[in-house]
Amino acid sequence: MIKIDISNVWGSVEFADLMAIEKEVAAAHTTLADGSGAGKEYLGWMNLPTREVTPEITRIQAAAEKIRANSDVFVVIGIGGSYLGSRAAIELLQGPNRNMGKGKGDPQIFYAGNSLSTRHWNELCRLLDEKDFSIAIISKSGTTTEPAVATRALRWMLERKYGTDGARERIYAITDPVKGALRQMANEEGWQTFSIPPSVGGRYSVLSAVGLLPMAVAGMDIQAVLSGSMDAKESYDLRSYENPVWLYAAIRNLMCRHGKHIELFESFEPGFQMFGKWWQQLFGESEGKDGKGLFPVTAEFTGDLHSLGQMIQQGRRNLFETMLRFDPPEQVCTVGSDVKNLDGLNYLAGKQLDFVEENAFLGTVAAHVDGGVPVITVDCGTLDEKKIGELFYFLELSCGISSYILGVNPFNQPGVELYKRNMFHLLGKPGYENM
pLDDT band at 417 (very low <50, low <70, confident <90, very high): confident
pLDDT reported for residue 435: 66
Looking at residues 33-52, what average pLDDT do you find?
97
Looking at residues 30-34, what average pLDDT do you find?
98
104 is catalytic: no
Residue type, 278: W
Q: What is the pLDDT of residues 230-242, one digit of tens each?
A: 999 999 999 999 9
Q: Which of 91, 285, 287, 385 is catalytic?
A: 285
46: number of Cβ within 10 Å = 19
Q: Residue 256: pLDDT above 70? A: yes
Distance set, CA 373 to CA 204, 254, 264, 295 (Å):
30, 14, 10, 15
pLDDT band at 138 (very low <50, low <70, confident <90, very high): very high
Residue type, 136: A
Looking at residues 351-360, what average pLDDT do you find?
96
Q: Which of 3, 179, 420, 429 is catalytic?
A: 420
420 is catalytic: yes
pLDDT reported for residue 425: 82
pLDDT reported for residue 198: 96
Positions of E strands within 202-309: 262-267, 295-300
d(C-alpha 227, C-alpha 271), whole Å? 22
DSSP 231-257: HHHHHTT--STTSHHHHHHHHHHHHHH
Distance set, CA 356 to CA 166, 269, 321, 349 (Å):
52, 14, 21, 11
Q: Which of 23, 188, 306, 433 is catalytic?
A: 306
pLDDT band at 434 (very low <50, low <70, confident <90, very high): confident
End-to-end Cα separation, the chain, in angstroms: 51
Q: What is the dihedral of CA 58, 60, 61, 66, to 10 degrees?
A: 130
425 is catalytic: no
pLDDT reported for residue 424: 85
Phi, psi dihedral angles at 264 (to 5 degrees): -100, 110
**Nearest to residue 278, comparing CAs of 45, 85, 78, 412?**
85
pLDDT reported for residue 422: 84
Picking from 50-54, 295-299, 407-411, 417-421, which range would have the lowest pLDDT averaged per residue? 417-421
Q: What is the dihedral of CA 386, 25, 294, 88, to 10 degrees?
A: 10
d(C-alpha 272, C-alpha 348), whole Å? 26
Q: What is the pLDDT of residues 166-201, one digit of tens each?
A: 999 999 999 999 999 999 999 999 999 999 999 999
User: Any bridge partners for residue 356, and if so which?
Assistant: none
d(C-alpha 418, C-alpha 425), whole Å? 11
pLDDT reported for residue 297: 97
Q: What is the pLDDT of residues 370-401, one digit of tens each?
A: 999 999 999 999 999 999 999 999 999 999 99
